[in-house]
């Protein structure tokens, strides 16, 4: 996956709750277009808050978040968002759930339905387009949520622990599907996870967050395209240990 000029820029960003407690403190971070970036850190360190700021779902207390040099003032069609849970509408069939981002803005056209069906095929559930979310497994719901996030062909995808509730095998399958899809579409990805191995497997670069700050941004140099076998490579284990040590060190310094 080639790295191109900056897509997302976070400059001096802080975020404070109404009670005055700090969540993020003067974060500076730049994400080039076309890269896969992950945020890891302990619960409460600010990962999801930073993701929401990038998506325009929150506004910073100070500093600026920019996408392609334009200040983020609210949700943008340039951003696809995948939540911790699939958040599918139970009363709509899968196809209509995937088309929801389009139907909220305009009338759905035949070409939109064709694109949605193509995406469902790409994520492996094309034959389930007419089913309702309650008729799907957790993995199938996650695949539908991924298709929904990609339906408008956004140049960037923000993902908040989307595979955390899945079993190990399904999770690894979805990781491979995600890598294939974003490489095909040259999508920039910012991915939040608690799972160090998941971050290393997916990412070009991993940022470690601790108490509202980025403590480390580490490049991951593993073969492309990646496959499950690389998880057993000593280099992979070394990257995981490096990230784990950075998390432990940041926690010790903060203490």
Three-state SS sequence of 175-216: HHHHHHHHHHHCCEEEEECCCHHHHHHHCCEEEEEECCEEEE
- 4-8, 18-22, 120-124 — which is least confidently predicted? 4-8
List strand residue ranges (DSSP E) for the chain, in order: 6-16, 22-32, 36-40, 62-67, 70-71, 79-82, 156-160, 188-192, 205-210, 213-219
More confident residue, 92 or 3: 92
Averaged pLDDT, 184-203 = 90
Rounded to a whole number of angstroms, the distance between the first and last alpha carbons of the chain is 38
Q: Give the Cα separation of 91 and 225 in Å (integer).
A: 38
**Residue 1: per-residue pLDDT:** 43
The tokens describing 192, both together, are 């939040």
pLDDT at 189 over 90: yes
Which of helix, strand or coil describes residue 171? helix
Q: Using CA atoms, how far apart are residues 94 and 148, in angstroms rounded to an integer?
A: 9
| Entry pTM | 0.87
- State the pLDDT at residue 227: 64
Higher pLDDT, 251 or 69: 69
* Alpha carbons 25 and 38: distance in angstroms, whole number: 19
Burial of 231 (0-12, 13-18, 19+ CB in 10 A): middle
Q: Residue 253: is its pLDDT beyond 80? A: no
Q: Are 84 and 76 in contact (CB under 8 A)?
A: no
Which of 105, 106, 43, 31 is closest to 72 using CA atoms? 31
Inform me whether the pLDDT recorded for 3 exceeds 60: no
pLDDT in tens, 37-91: 999 988 888 888 999 998 888 898 998 998 888 888 888 778 888 888 888 999 9
Count other C-beta atoms under 10 Å from residue 20's C-beta.
Answer: 6
List the strands of the sheet with 6-16, edge to edge: 22-32, 6-16, 62-67, 70-71
Q: What angle do CA 114, 85, 195 make, to 5 degrees?
A: 110
Of 33-37, 188-192, 223-227, the least confident:
223-227
Helices 110-122/168-185 angle, 10° precision: 130
* Local confidence band at 147 (pLDDT 50, 70, 90 cut-offs): very high
Report d(CA 93, CA 57) in Å as an integer. Answer: 26
Check whether 255 has a pLDDT greater than 60: no
Provide the pLDDT confidence category of residue 94 given band limits of 50, 70 and 90.
very high
Model pLDDT for residues 162-177, shown as the tens digit of each residue: 888 888 888 888 898 8
Quote the pLDDT of residue 2.
45
Mean pLDDT value across the chain = 86
């Amino acid at each position: 996956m080639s790295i191109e000029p900056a897509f997302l820029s976070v400059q001096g960003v802080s975020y404070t709750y109404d009670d005055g407690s700090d969540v993020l403190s003067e974060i500076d971070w730049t994400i080039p277009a076309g890269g896969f970036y992950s945020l890891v850190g302990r619960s409460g360190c600010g990962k999801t808050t930073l993701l929401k700021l990038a998506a325009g779902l929150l506004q910073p207390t100070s500093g600026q978040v920019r996408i392609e040099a334009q200040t983020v003032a609210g949700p943008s069609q340039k951003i696809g968002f995948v939540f911790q849970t699939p958040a599918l509408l139970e009363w709509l069939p899968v196809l209509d759930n995937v088309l929801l981002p389009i139907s909220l803005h305009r009338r759905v056209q035949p070409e939109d339905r064709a694109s949605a069906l193509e995406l469902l095929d790409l994520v492996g559930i094309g034959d389930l387009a007419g089913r309702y979310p309650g008729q799907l497994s957790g993995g199938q719901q996650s695949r539908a949520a991924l298709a929904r996030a990609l339906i408008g062909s956004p140049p960037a995808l923000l993902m908040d622990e989307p595979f955390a509730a899945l079993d190990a095998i399904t999770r690894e399958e979805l990781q491979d599907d995600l890598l294939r899809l974003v490489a095909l579409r040259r999508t920039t990805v910012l991915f939040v996870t608690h799972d160090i191995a998941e971050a290393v497997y997916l990412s070009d670069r991993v940022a470690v967050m601790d108490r509202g700050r980025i403590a480390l941004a580490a490049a991951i140099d593993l073969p492309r395209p990646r496959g499950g076998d690389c998880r057993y490579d000593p280099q992979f284990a070394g990257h995981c240990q490096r990230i784990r040590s950075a998390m432990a060190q940041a926690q010790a310094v903060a203490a």
